[in-house]
Amino acid sequence: MHSFQRRGKELFCEDKSLTSIAEEYGTPLYVYSHSTVTRHYQVFEEAFASIPHIICYAVKANPTGAILKLLAKMDSGADIVSGGELYRALRAGIEPSRIVYSGVGKTEKEMEDALQSDILMFNIESFTELAALDEVAGRMGKRARISLRINPDIDPGTHPYVATGLRTSKFGIPFEYALEGYDRAAKLPNIDIIGVDCHIGSQLTELSPFVDAVKKLIELITVLRQKDNDIQYLDIGGGLGIPYNTENPPSPAEFADAVKRHLAEANVTLILEPGRSIVGNAGILLTRVLYTKKGKDRRFVIVDAGMNDLLRPSLYDAYHEIAHVVDEERDIEVSDIVGPICESGDFLAKDRRLPRFDKGDLIAVMSAGAYGASMSSTYNSRPLAAEVLVNGQTARLIRKRGSCEDLIRGERVT
């Protein structure tokens, strides 16, 4: 059951009306459903229950502490890409033995902190990073467990900005250099090879790219084992899409069925890194209409949330459903939903046929649980929006609204 539903004319999150939430906490405001986050994680666990696996939630999708703590209580691991995400994951109670560290630009300090925390493994993205990690581990008297992130040059059929497994991508090591990379790693004194990693992109709506990647990686694992490499883990990343508009992505169960049949003889623990598919449809952005004005061929609806609160429409021309919180009989108009930021690219929706909006109306921008708050900024010196987690009839503030004092914290005036 979807956690954002209408009761009569009004939109609710679980058993709490969005109108009452906005009255208590103001706008702009991120609102998350506890039951949806829980259900989406459990669906992944159930789908892969028949094989050894670890679900490592992609912290970048939504790193808010209460969300991470909720996932930690369900024994989720974490896929991290920075020292800050490591700090957040550990603070939330995620076990270091269930943390994998991805990303092309790990600093030596970040490597030190991860080694000190004894995370499961580093997903290595270049030969120079591999050499740096070996040096850091040796200096610390530790051994670094690693996989190489292999770029299989598979087109995921998604937006170019979130396609990460193509030959032109900055991520990973080209497939044709994989054996050379593992040979180099095997000769390093402070490195333990334990896995193979791949992540081909985000918001995928077809299973064939996943299957093609898995098949290539299993072939690689076979060769690596023949060369006496002890490959224990296969990390296939995340990227399973969600419905924003008319997409019909496969379910986690369908994803599992497609992948598992190729893993029968692989004898590995599978690592999955879902992010968007757990939190994307578990959250919305609430915003209020400030003003409206008539353009030549459309109406501009000016709201109190902007591209600093939800960057995806401006960055990717991404679609988010726009809904009245209180649904009444209204004329249909062609509208642009725009924010207060001084940029022409500041919009949440463009050229949409929508029921008329008037000053004071509450708007729900749907499917904003992933890459909403995590990509938000204080551009134009606008304080960060608050975040609320709803569990049944209870709405709990999990990040307070930013203040002007927050904007200048750390600054020095000479």
Which among 211, 244, 272 is the end of a domain?
272
Which residue ranges are tagged as binding site? 239, 273-276, 312, 316, 343, 371
Say what the pLDDT of residue 2 is.
Answer: 72
Residue 318, domain CATH: 2.40.37.10
Residue 155 and residue 250 in one domain: yes
Assess if residue 137 is contained within a domain: yes
Residue 268 and residue 286 in one domain: no
Say what the pLDDT of residue 66 is.
Answer: 98
Most distant CA pair in the chain, distance: 71
Distances (CA, A) of 286 to 173, 201, 275, 387: 41, 28, 21, 10
Assess if residue 159 is contained within a domain: yes
Residue 259 and residue 321 in one domain: no
Assess if residue 59 is contained within a domain: no
Do residues 286 and 363 touch, judged by C-beta distance below 8 A?
yes
Residue 317 and residue 214 in one domain: no
Say what the pLDDT of residue 162 is.
Answer: 40
Each residue of 42-91: pLDDT tens digit? 999 999 999 999 999 999 999 999 999 999 999 999 999 999 999 999 99
The burial of 261, by beta-carbon neighbours within 10 Å (0-12 exposed, 13-18 middle, 19 or more buried), is given as exposed
Closest CA to 395 of 8, 36, 22, 10: 22
Residue type, 249: P
Residue 113 and residue 255 in one domain: yes
Cα atoms in the Cβ-side hemisphere of radius 13 Å centred on 71: 39
What's the average pLDDT block by block, 10 residues per block, for the chain (414 residues)?
A: 87 98 98 98 96 97 98 98 98 98 96 98 96 98 97 60 49 90 97 94 82 90 95 93 89 91 90 96 98 91 98 94 94 96 96 96 97 97 98 98 96 89
Rounded to 5 degrees, φ, ψ at 261 are: -65, -20
Which among 255, 272, 289 is the end of a domain?
272
Residue numbers of the domain that contains 227: 103-272
Closest CA to 147 of 50, 278, 273: 273
Which residue ranges are tagged as binding site for substrate? 276, 312, 316, 343, 371
Q: Which of 56, 198, 342, 404 is catalytic?
A: 342
Q: What is d(CA 240, CA 206) in angstroms, rounded to the nearest whole number?
A: 8
Q: What is d(CA 199, CA 207) in angstroms, rounded to the nearest whole number?
A: 14
Which among 272, 291, 318 is the end of a domain?
272
Element (H, E) at 33: strand 29-33
Closest CA to 240 of 272, 216, 287: 272
Grouping H, G, I as helix, E, B as strand and the rest as coil, residue 330 is coil
Assess whether 198 carries a catalytic annotation: no
Residue 196 and residue 298 in one domain: no
Residue 125, domain CATH: 3.20.20.10
Residue type, 153: D
Residue 254 and residue 303 in one domain: no
Please spell the DSSP secondary structure of 269-292, one letter per residue: EEEE--SHHHHGGGEEEEEEEEEE
Residue 163 and residue 260 in one domain: yes
The burial of 138, by beta-carbon neighbours within 10 Å (0-12 exposed, 13-18 middle, 19 or more buried), is given as middle
Say what the pLDDT of residue 169 is.
Answer: 64
